Amino acid sequence: MFRRPVRISGRRPHTGVQPTAPSAGRVDAPAASETASAFAASIARHEQLVGELQAALEAQRRVLAQLNGRLELLTGSRRDADAREGFASTINDQDKAEQRRYDVVARLLGPFEVSIGGVPVGSWRSQKAASLLKYLLLHDHRPARRETLMEVFWPSSSPKSARNNLNVTVYQLRGTLREIDPGRTHIVYTDGTYRLDPHLTSWCDVAEFSRALQLGHRSAEAGDGAAALTAYRHARELYGGMLLEGDTSGEWFFDAQRHLHQEQCGLLERLGTILLDHGDLTESVVMGEELLIQDPCRETGHQLLMRAYAALQQPQLVVKQYQRCADLLRRELSVDPAPATVALYGRLVPAR
């Protein structure tokens, strides 16, 4: 039996159930609130991390600035040291060339050295003979009375014994010098006094140091800063150490030793101040440190360094130097810094 095909239309069959269409723009309220809270917390955490990072970077910048400042000081000090070595080499070369013209060349600042006709004296017949020559050199050709020498070197001996000892010592000294330079007397006796032969030409670092120092003072007083610097630097190079360093022949040179030590400290202070005034800040720091090596409790040395560090824009070093000064004075002398030092510190590091 033939069946007619069934026609299927495009309409959906009616089932009796109406589909539900989603509403446009509708969001679940609890989920949205949770998402917003998480987003806000993320932003807050991000802002906190950014703040911590900025603080860390700022702290690092401060540390780097301090390190760079210190590096500049050290680099500048090294450059100044190189320059001073070059200057000292030039001065020493000039000194050596000049000293070759002298019959006697002596160094009393630091370990004792003496040469006769350019030949160093390497050994002595007695240490008393060496001490006698030191005495005559230190007194710069001024005749020394026999009784004075007897009292200086043999204070506990009888006059007769002291005179015999002096005669023997003079004989030993002349013999030592004649071994190097035969045919000369070197030490002459006139009217009860002993001295170097006035016909000998001589150079002594103590006398040269005093001349350079006085030239520096005169130049500074005349307002010639360049000449003062040259003279003071020359004097500084001549000071090779304490007068007759290591000598154990007695106390006869102690007053001169203390005097020259104070002269050297004053020289370093003047030199450092002139350099500071001329803007040579790192070399001024070197002078201040060298001064405090010579005399750690010298407040003017601490003041010089405080001013130099302030000019270098290093307030933390000013504070450190003041504390160093105060600690040293309390520990070594049981005193506080002088009012001038306290006032300078107040001007350089104002209270905040």
- Give the tens place of pLDDT for each residue, 138-194: 998 789 999 999 999 999 999 999 999 999 999 999 999 999 999 888 999 999 999
Distance, CA of 168 to CA of 34 (rounded, Å): 111
Distance, CA of 233 to CA of 84 (rounded, Å): 9
**pLDDT value at residue 203:** 96
Nearest to 283 by CA among 15, 82, 6, 42: 82
Contacts 24+ apart (CB under 8 A), 182-190: 186/116, 187/133, 187/136, 190/143
* Residue 108 near residue 206, CB atoms below 8 Å: yes
- How many residues belong to the chain? 352
User: In the predicted model, is pLDDT for residue 105 greater than 90?
Assistant: yes
Mean pLDDT of the chain: 82
**DSSP state for residue 191 in the 8-state scheme:** T
Q: Which tens digits make up the pLDDT trace of 179-197?
A: 999 988 899 999 999 999 9
Looking at residue 116, its amino acid is: I
* Residue 178 near residue 123, CB atoms below 8 Å: no
- Take residue 96 and report the two structure tokens written for it: 């050596």
Q: What is the CA radius of gyration of the chain?
A: 42
Nearest to 133 by CA among 282, 249, 255, 284: 249
* Residue 225 near residue 278, CB atoms below 8 Å: yes
> Exposed, middle or buried by CB within 10 Å (0-12, 13-18, 19+), for 193?
middle
Is 3.40.640.10 the CATH classification of the domain at 205-348?
no
Boundaries of every domain in the chain: 104-200, 205-348
**pLDDT value at residue 50:** 56
- Take residue 179 and report the two structure tokens written for it: 């071994």
* Residue 104 near residue 114, CB atoms below 8 Å: yes
- Mean pLDDT over 126-141 rounds to 93
What angle do the packed helices 159-180 and 127-138 form, to 10 degrees? 90
109 forms beta bridges with: 243
Q: Which tens digits make up the pLDDT trace of 245-276?
A: 989 888 999 999 999 999 999 999 999 999 99
**pLDDT value at residue 249:** 85
Distance, CA of 111 to CA of 108 (rounded, Å): 7
- Take residue 4 and report the two structure tokens written for it: 């007619």
Looking at residue 114, its amino acid is: V
Determine the Cα angle at 15 with ends 13 and 19, to 5°. 100
Ranges of beta strands (E only) in 256-339 are none
Edge-first strand order for the sheet with 104-107 is 119-120, 113-116, 104-107, 202-204
Distance, CA of 90 to CA of 279 (rounded, Å): 24
Distance, CA of 172 to CA of 185 (rounded, Å): 12
Q: How many CB atoms within 10 Å of residue 234?
A: 21
- Take residue 237 and report the two structure tokens written for it: 């190079």
Looking at residue 94, its amino acid is: Q
Distance, CA of 246 to CA of 251 (rounded, Å): 12
Handedness of CA 282, 283, 289, 295 (dihedral sign): negative
Q: Is 110 helix (H, G, I), strand (E, B) or coil?
A: coil
Give percent of the chain with pLDDT exceeding 70.
Answer: 71
Matching CATH number, 104-200, of 1.10.3470.10, 3.40.190.10, 3.30.200.20, 1.10.10.10:
1.10.10.10
**pLDDT value at residue 243:** 97
Distance, CA of 212 to CA of 197 (rounded, Å): 25
* Residue 234 near residue 94, CB atoms below 8 Å: no
- Take residue 286 and report the two structure tokens written for it: 């070197």
